[in-house]
Each structure stands twice: as C-alpha cells, then as structure tokens.
Amino acid sequence: MVEDSAIIILGASGDLAQRKLMPALRTLYEQNQISGECLIVGSGRTPFSDDEFRDRFKLPPECTVRLFYHQHIAGLKKFLDGKGQFRQIIIFFSLPPGTYLDSAIAVHNEGFRENVRLIIEKPFGRDHSSARELNRKLEELFGEESIFRIDHYLAKEVVQNILVFRFANNLFYPVWNSRHIESIQINALEEIGVVERGRYFDEVGIVKDMVQNHLLQLLLLLTMEAPITLKPEDIRTQKINLLKSLQFEECATGQYSGYRRESGIPPDSTTETFAELRATINNFRWTGMPIHIRVGKALHRSGTEIGVRFHPVPKLLFNETGQLKPNQIIFKVQPEAGILLDLSSKKPGSDMLITETSMEFCYRKSFDGEIPEAYQKLLLDALKGDHTLFVSAEETELAWNKIESLRLPDQPFSYEPGSRPPAVLPVSWIEFDKYISACADVGRGF
C-alpha cells in the first residue's frame, strides 16, 4: 500500500482528470492500494472551492475528505505544506503540451524540489529538437529518475502480455524471426475525427500524433530482443537497440473529406488524418521482413490490432495449389482485449477438407475480477517509483529522429468519413475487420 503521499493534478478541471485520473485514483483507494492518509490536490485556472471541486467527481466519502483544490501553481507549495508532511509528492501534468516546460519551471520555483515525481503526458515535444530541449531542462530541474513520461498504451493488459507471450512460451520464441514471419502489421483506427483537438492536431498530423509514440512502442515490445532482467533499464536498453535499427521506407497519406471545415483547421491544410507506412528492421532477427502500419481518423470503425503473419507452408500435401492461408497471430489491443491464433484444421466429417480455425484467448473470459484500467496501473507504478511502463528520454528522442527521417507526401489523397481507404502501398493487409466480434461477447473492452 502506498502511504504518506500527495498527488497533485495540474489541469484538474480538464477532461482527462474527469474521465481517467479521478476514476483511477478512486479505484486505487477502494482496492486499498493507496492509503486513506494520502492527499489529492487539484490545481487549475478555474476558480473552485473545495466542495465545488469535489462535486465534479463521484468519489466515496473516505476519498472526498482527502480531495482539495488550489487555483494556479503560485502558492501551491504553501497550501500543501498546510495539509501535512508527505514522504513523496506526485505531480501529474494534465496540461496542453506547449505548457509543460513553463509549468515545470513554475513548480520548481514554488519549492517542489525533494521527493517529487513528475508524470508527463504525450506528446513529449513536437519534434526532435523540442523533445531534446524539454528533456534537458527537466533533467536539470528534477533529474531523469523523477520524470515519468506516460504512454498509456504500454499499460494496457494485452500490451504488457506481449513480452510474456514471447519469452515465457517456448512454442513461439524459436519462430519469432524473419525466417518464419512474413510480415508484422499494426492497425490503429478511429471512427471519430479531430473533434475539439483541431488546432493541435493540424500542427502535428496522425503520424506524429500516433506513430511516434503509441504505435512505435507496440512495435518495440513485439520485436526487441529479450532483456537480461525485467528491470526498467534492461527493457529500455533493448527497446533503444531496436529503435536504432528501425528504418521507415515508404509512406502514403490521406485526409478525410470535410477535415478543412473542422474548428481550428485552415481551409488549405494538407495535414494527414490517415497514413500507411512501411518500415524494416536491419538486424539479424528481422532483416528482410516488412512492417506495415495503418493509422487514421474518421474511419469505418475504431480498434487497434497487431497482426503477425507467418510464411505459408510449402506447396506440398495439403497445400499443393497454395490454397492454404498462412498462420496468423492477432493481438487485439482495444476495444476488446485478446490474443487470437489462426490455424488450419480438418473439417469434421469431411475427406481431408481443410478449414480455418481460430484459438481465442480473451482477457475477460480467462480472468475473474476487474481488469485494471491503464491509468490505474500507471499512477500506481509512478507512486511506487517503477519506470518499467514509462518512456525514457533517449527513447523519445530516437523516436522523433526516426519520424523526422520520413518524408510525407506533399498532398494527401481524399477519403470519405466512415470509410476504409483502399491500400495505397503494395500491401496484402490482414483482414482485421473479421476479428471485430472476437472477445466482444465476454464483457466490455478496456
């Protein structure tokens, strides 16, 4: 149980605190992961009394009495000192990315120096140069060990299970290489458009918004070498080694019709809302194998999946005409979580008629109890000082380097909202849509 801690949420009147942070903290309290002596302080520009702030959240009484509000960063340290002494202070930056550095300086100037940990949301910088500058300044102020850069995809259960799946099962480890795997494909789709994020999104586009962080992190866990231990520094070493060998080869981009009429979008914007990318990894394990990434907004459905397609079996015995489909492993990241294995098997009662069969591992069917939500896991790890699921400074800068080496087309093609654009690059995509209903009937996604 975490004790004697104060949790400060900067930007506490915003959407993230309402939807994710407060519910996560409530669950940690209810599960006795956080002591009732711990304090939560919201801070923001909006004027609230303590009671007005508490009324925004549905918290049990024992949590509510430990919830306070302070307007602005100025005076925050004195306010907190008046509530008691704390072994550690966690400060969550639920703020616009452009304010991170100024807010960190203000927090430091307030007197938050010792036993302080900063949790910072993505995007971490807008390019390599700004990320490097932000890393340098934060390290000067607080030290790298005090910085926790969040990528909430890393805390999703199916993503955490990738390393277990690869390295705890001898069935898969020997074939996890380009000699047996034909391609790796990552599919990240959203039904919604830019909604209220138009101004920010138009400055970055879908590649910087999703590929530079979330999707690259998925790829690193899927392809990195086995770490010596599960210590954060050993995992990070292998992720960084993999990043160094990654090379983007091609990119095609699209923009949904009507994007330029969204709030905050210039009428001549060429920002991409959809992208297909091809990459390779130049090391002994993966040389020659393509990696395909497809990501976009305003598409026909929402979902994130990773597909691992194996080479087909030889044209012998059951596959003389090449009719058998290759084996595939599908990691369903969201909305429903599970791992699926596509196999070939004999159809019952037939004369060696081969059919496709899927073996399904669905989280909510396999495990009793509530599956932890991503922010619940990340907040608890930060309180414990565990960096395993957080991104290092070197990772962020290397990822920006890789993205900036990719030249995007000058003009994206147009596609209709609610559709799935046809493949532009020469890719034989896994038909991810056929797995939509898998694991969906066993409970809600997470």
What is the pLDDT, as a whole number, of residue 445? Answer: 35
Q: What is the pLDDT of residues 339-377, one digit of tens each?
A: 999 988 777 766 677 778 888 888 777 776 667 788 999
Three-state SS annotation for 114-161: CCEEEEECCCCCCCHHHHHHHHHHHHHHHCHHHEEEECHHHHCHHHHH
pLDDT for 105 beyond 80: yes
5-121 and 154-372+386-442 have identical folds:
no
189 backbone dihedrals φ, ψ, rounded to 5°: -120, 145
Helices 128-142 and 100-110: crossing angle in degrees, nearest 10, is: 10
The answer to which of 59-63, 297-301, 348-352, 408-412 has the lowest mean pLDDT is 348-352
Provide mean pLDDT across the span 315-340: 85
Q: Which CATH entry fits the domain spanning 5-121: 3.10.100.10, 3.50.50.60, 3.30.70.100, 3.40.50.720?
A: 3.40.50.720
Known catalytic residues are 214
Quick one: which of 346, 432, 384 has its CA closest to 2?
Answer: 384
| Order of strands, sheet of 39-44, starting from the edge strand that comes earlier in the sequence | 67-71, 39-44, 5-10, 88-93, 116-120, 147-150, 390-391
Q: What is the pLDDT of residues 217-274, one digit of tens each?
A: 999 999 999 999 999 999 999 999 999 999 999 999 999 999 999 999 999 999 999 9
CA pair distance 289, 368, nearest whole angstrom: 38
What is the pLDDT, as a whole number, of residue 354? Answer: 77
What is the pLDDT, as a whole number, of residue 349? Answer: 65
Q: What is the pLDDT of residues 429-441, one digit of tens each?
A: 999 999 988 887 5
Cβ neighbours, 10 Å, residue 218: 25
pLDDT for 337 beyond 80: yes
CA pair distance 306, 292, nearest whole angstrom: 10
Provide mean pLDDT across the span 21-47: 89
The three-state secondary structure class of 304 is strand
Q: Which residue has the higher pLDDT, 251 or 32?
A: 251
The two structure tokens encoding residue 145: 């060990």
Three-state SS annotation for 256-293: ECCHHHCCCCCCCCCCCCEEEEEEEECCCCCCCCCEEE
Peptide bond into 47 cis (omega under 30): no
**What are the DSSP calls for 377-441, one per residue?**
HHHHHHHHT--TTEE-HHHHHHHHHHHHTSPPPSSPEEE-TTB-PPP-SS-----GGGGTTTTGG
Class of domain 154-372+386-442: alpha beta
> What pTM was estimated for this model as a whole?
0.91
Peptide bond into 123 cis (omega under 30): yes
Q: What is the pLDDT of residues 130-187, one digit of tens each?
A: 999 999 999 999 999 999 999 989 988 889 889 999 999 998 999 999 999 999 999 9
Q: Tell me the domain boundaries of the chain.
A: 5-121, 154-372+386-442
Kindly indicate the confidence band of residue 119, based on its pLDDT and cuts at 50, 70 and 90: very high
What is the pLDDT, as a whole number, of residue 413? Answer: 97
Kindly indicate the confidence band of residue 300, based on its pLDDT and cuts at 50, 70 and 90: very high
